[in-house]
């Protein structure tokens, strides 16, 4: 939001129509960190993000996982290196654990 004309004072429309896909994801992650819940389910949290942003976001997701359950659904192999457990699914069937 800091890059928008009104910066942090930017008012978002319903569903954040003026934001890109990556910007929407970042706003959602920020909200999740500001208003924590016991469980966080992240569906492709790094999709639409550039490599530099992923390098910033991944440590924040890992920090989040220190205090609550974080479930990540992703094709991104990057999460394989930091996950406590990995379950591979194929059309709802568990392929490996």
* Residue pLDDT, tens place only, 37-57: 999 999 999 888 899 989 988
Domain 20-96 annotated CATH 3.40.718.10 = no
22: closest CA among 50, 43, 57, 41? 50
For residues 19-42, average pLDDT:
86
Question: Would you kindly state where each structural domain of the chain is located, as residue ranges?
Answer: 20-96
* Residue pLDDT, tens place only, 80-92: 888 888 888 877 6
At residue 7, the pLDDT reads 74
Q: Where are the beta strands (DSSP E) in the chain?
A: 39-43, 69-73, 88-90, 93-96
At residue 48, the pLDDT reads 85
Share of residues in the chain with pLDDT > 90 (%): 19
Would you say residue 70 has pLDDT above 80? yes
């Amino acid at each position: 939001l800091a890059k928008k004309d009104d910066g942090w004072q930017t008012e978002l429309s319903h569903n954040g129509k003026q934001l890109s896909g990556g910007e929407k994801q970042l706003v959602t992650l920020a909200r999740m960190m500001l208003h924590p819940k016991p469980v966080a389910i992240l569906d492709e949290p790094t999709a639409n993000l550039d490599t530099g942003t992923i390098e910033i976001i991944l440590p924040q997701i890992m920090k989040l996982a220190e205090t609550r359950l974080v479930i990540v659904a992703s094709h991104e192999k990057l999460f394989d290196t930091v996950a406590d457990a990995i379950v591979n699914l194929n059309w709802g069937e568990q392929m490996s654990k």
